[in-house]
């Protein structure tokens, strides 16, 4: 369905990668990593969107991107200068990238400009604005973030109700999530300018929960802030789990499990083979320890054989969902970017 778009994207980005990579790196191993990441994106039908983000930024020098999710783990995006998260600096392995969609905030330009740009680049698909629907099909609620399906022009699902909106973009009043496994989905929104005169990591904490954890853990370094930001997005990572252990001083900020990468690093430090450690990490990150107890017992056996402490096995068993480190890094770097502050914006006008 998207094979042609991804094939041409691979040809184009392969050339651009060579140009960009060897300006800044000289490691053949890192170059091979970028090629592997490109293959993963190709297999997931995501590569042509990366191509368009890259080309859009080349035409609009003022544009910056803030990616959400494990896509921040990809060195390829950093080399192509469409992400300012360097995975090497924060130990973000590309193997943890498993997204089936692309989530990105556009900074300094309205997001609709990219959507319009994307639609002009090909007559192979139409942009479909996604909605989710409550019980009554007539009651349509748009998500806070803008979700879009890239719907092939030569295909129309009879069960999908479509209409053109005021921007001449197709909308669906069916639940867009019904199509996420069949069609390419991107989530595009805008990152707001921070309303402050100061460049400060405290701006990364955006809700009461994160601020309360911060008071307890007292972060000092950017890595501390990354951990707290990650905890704030997890389910049963802090509450009913590590909050009690911190209070009892059995663990602290240094060894607290806040991200998928923390789990992986812990397992690798206990000499568990990388492929097995990756499987266990993804199993834990999605809360499968409680959904598949038989498989979990097998993993517990492996961890005990490799002398993993009971306290951490218990922490892992309670996690229902845990954040990736990459997005928290992206949030922190955004909070430290002086170009995104009102004071600097006003100076530029």
DSSP 297-322: HHHHHHHHHTT--HHHHHHHHH-SB-
Q: What is the value of pTM for the model shown?
A: 0.88
Question: Three-state DSSP class for 95?
Answer: helix
Q: Of 143, 148, 142, 156, nearest to 117 (Cα)?
A: 148
Q: Do 251 and 311 contact (CB within 8 A), yes or no?
A: yes
Radius of gyration (C-alpha) of the chain in whole angstroms: 21
Q: What is the pLDDT along the chain (349 residues), one digit of tens a residue?
A: 788 889 999 999 999 999 999 888 889 999 999 999 999 999 999 999 999 999 999 999 889 999 999 999 999 999 999 998 999 999 999 999 988 889 999 998 889 899 889 888 878 788 887 766 555 444 544 444 578 888 777 766 667 777 777 766 777 767 777 777 788 888 888 888 888 888 889 889 989 999 999 999 999 999 999 999 999 889 999 999 999 999 999 999 999 999 999 999 999 999 999 999 999 999 999 999 989 999 999 999 999 999 999 999 999 999 999 999 999 999 999 999 888 787 544 333 2
Beta strand 140-141 pairing with 170-175: unpaired
Please give the torsion angle defined by the CA atoms of residues 323, 328, 330 and 334, in that order, rounded to the nearest 10 degrees.
150
The residue behind tokens 């892992």 is: 316
């Amino acid at each position: 369905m998207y094979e042609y778009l991804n094939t041409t994207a691979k040809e184009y980005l392969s050339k651009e990668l060579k140009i960009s990579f060897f300006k800044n790196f000289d490691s053949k191993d890192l170059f091979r990593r970028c090629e592997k990441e490109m293959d993963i994106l190709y297999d997931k039908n995501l590569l042509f969107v990366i191509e368009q983000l890259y080309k859009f930024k080349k035409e609009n020098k003022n544009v910056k991107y803030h990616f959400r999710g494990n896509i921040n783990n990809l060195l390829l995006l950093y080399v192509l200068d469409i992400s300012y998260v360097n995975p090497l600096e924060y130990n973000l392995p590309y193997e943890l990238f498993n997204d089936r969609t692309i989530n990105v905030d556009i900074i300094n330009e309205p997001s609709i400009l990219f959507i319009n740009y994307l639609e002009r680049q090909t007559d192979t698909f139409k942009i479909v604005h996604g909605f989710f629907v409550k019980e009554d099909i007539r009651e349509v609620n748009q998500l806070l973030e803008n979700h879009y399906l890239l719907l092939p022009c030569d295909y129309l699902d009879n069960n999908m109700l479509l209409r053109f909106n005021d921007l001449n973009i197709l909308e669906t009043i069916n639940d867009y999530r019904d199509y996420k496994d069949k069609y390419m989905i991107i989530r595009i929104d805008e990152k707001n300018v921070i309303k402050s005169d100061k460049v400060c990591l405290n701006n990364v904490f955006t809700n009461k929960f994160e601020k309360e954890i911060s008071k307890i853990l007292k972060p000092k370094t950017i890595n501390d802030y990354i951990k707290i930001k990650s905890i704030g997005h997890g389910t049963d990572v802090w509450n009913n789990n590590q909050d009690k252990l911190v209070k009892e001083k059995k663990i602290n900020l240094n060894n607290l499990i806040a991200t998928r990468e923390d789990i992986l690093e812990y397992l690798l430090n206990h000499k568990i083979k990388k492929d097995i450690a990756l499987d266990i990490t993804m199993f834990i990150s999605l809360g499968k320890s409680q959904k598949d107890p038989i498989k979990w017992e097998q993993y517990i056996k492996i961890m005990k054989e490799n002398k993993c402490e009971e306290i951490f096995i218990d922490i892992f068993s309670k996690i229902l969902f845990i954040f990736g480190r990459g997005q928290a890094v992206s949030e922190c770097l955004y909070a430290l970017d002086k170009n995104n502050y009102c004071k600097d914006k006003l100076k530029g006008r």
